[in-house]
Amino acid sequence: MDSAENGFVDARETVRERVGGWAVRRRIAQAGPTLLLVVGALLLPNALAILASLWIGIPARSAPIAAYVVVILVGIRLPPLAVVPLYLTVVAFDLLMIVSEIFFLDIGSIHHNLDALTHVRLLSSPLYAGLTAALTAFVAAGLWFLVRYRAPMVRGNRIVLALAVSGFLFADIAINSSASLSLGPAAAIGQPFQSAVQASGFAALTEPSPRKPNVLLVLVGSLGVLRDPRQREVLFSAFDDAALREAFSITTGTTSFFGATSYGEMRELCHSRSAYTVLLDGHGPTCLPVQLAARGYRTVSVHGFTSAFYDRSSWYPKAGFVRSVFQDTATTAYTRHCGGAFVGPCDVDIAETIDDRLSKATQPLFVYWVTLNSHVPVRPGEATPRHDCKTGGPFGDPEVCAMAEIWEDLFAAVSRLAIRNPGTEILLVGDHAPPLWRRAARVRFEPDRVPWIRLAPHHPATPVLYRTASPQ
């Protein structure tokens, strides 16, 4: 082929390329507004949730997804200054929905804890710090995109957007809907009421009797039911102590839970699935502390966090506690502190204080203790290093293993307390399943059950004539 023919072929190929390029650019130009609309209204606002769902368990987000679309469709016709607060409002709503689902919170009661949230050290957790930084970056990107391309987005095809949204919603529900991520207070609707206090026989202590042993009820933070029976044996091994079993009859079981910690408190203290606000309204049930006080018990509550959280300083007296000890009201000076985002005295040190109070009680004493250190996210290395948690240990997951070591320290401390106070009636029960973010960790627990352990004295204490003085 001579040079003329080569030139003709090259020219023809160049024309084809140019024509093809023009056609592609024309198609892109025609699809541009619609593509920008789908990206700005659907993909960018949900990009972080999409990425996060590959690693952590994000609950289904139908309402926030729809809200973003509505705000974008309205916002592209508004001035930028009007768009920003609308967009940030949906971001806040989205975040609130995710947090309430993950932590089993009742959205209606969140406003009671707004002041108390200032005591939570979110940025001390690498997970929360990373999520906060990522959220800030994605929100900024979404707002920039919206302001930059709002004019062409107005011309986007609404039918294409509707089809994309429908597919996105279907995929979100199919992937992220899970019972373990949907256990708010509504989970109890239609289900028979259960509590460890009733199932274990602990409630019988409120009945008239000449015997008035000291009573300890421990609500263990985030203690869930491990699916693997071998892992449960490792977790509860502290209760296999020979001296403990010689003094106590040990029974175990599980009970259903609904909602966050405050619902667990109402479940065990007041035999109710209502929110604690019913006590503030004066229409609540008669709770366990009131019943024991009627038998002559001094009722004391103990918690290592601020009294403002869950408004406990207001409703605990209504539940029947004559004294409540919190981080901000404690008279004992604790030199050590534990916890990640929720920092307070170490649970094992509080156990020592309770041990001392029980041994020195001058009248029948009921102590109710809400533990703190196993609150998610736990900080690795805070408990006794019983296992090789870096590799997951016997629990197969580093995070679950770190939590288990905290629980094991607590159980060992309660076991020692029991041995030193052999006549004390003791019940431990979880408040709710651990609200772990990662799917791989969360699925290791039953989604709707918590365990309980009762230590009932083999040799109940004989009736004691207590002095009238009250313990310190």
Alpha-carbon distance 178 to 435, whole Å? 13
**Sequence-separated (6 or more) residues with CB below 8 Å from residue 460:** 211, 213, 423
End-to-end CA distance of the chain: give it in Å, rounded. Answer: 108
Q: Could you list the pLDDT tens digit for every one of the 472 residues in the chain?
A: 555 555 544 545 554 544 445 554 555 445 589 999 999 999 999 999 988 887 777 888 999 999 999 999 999 998 888 889 999 999 999 998 888 787 777 766 666 665 656 667 766 677 788 888 999 999 999 999 998 998 999 999 999 999 999 999 999 888 887 654 554 555 556 678 899 999 999 999 999 988 899 999 999 999 999 999 999 999 999 999 999 999 999 999 999 998 889 999 999 999 998 889 899 888 889 999 999 999 999 999 999 998 888 889 999 999 999 999 998 888 778 889 998 778 899 999 999 999 999 999 989 999 999 999 998 888 888 899 999 999 999 999 999 999 999 999 999 999 999 999 999 999 999 999 998 888 889 889 998 899 999 999 987 654 444 443 333 3
Cα torsion 279, 202, 450, 405 to 10°: value is 110
Is-contact 451 254, C-beta < 8 A?
yes
What pLDDT does residue 6 have? 52
Please tell me the predicted confidence (pLDDT) of residue 462. Answer: 45
**How far is 52 from 48, CA to CA, in rounded Å?**
6
Q: Global pTM?
A: 0.84
Within 10 angstroms of residue 54's Cβ, the number of other Cβ atoms is 9
pLDDT for residue 100: 79
Residues sharing a CB contact under 8 Å with residue 247, sequence separation 6 or more, in sequence order: 418, 419, 422, 457, 458, 459
Compute the C-alpha angle 410/415/419, nearest 5°: 150
Which domains occur in the chain, in start order?
A: 3-177 (no CATH), 185-457 (3.40.720.10)
| Whole-number Å distance between alpha carbons of 204 and 453 | 16
Please tell me the distance from the alpha carbon of residue 403 to that of residue 407, in angstroms, as a whole number: 6
Helix %, strand %, coil % for the chain, to 5? 55, 10, 35
Cα dist from 139 to 131, 136, 188, 353, whole Å: 12, 5, 36, 47
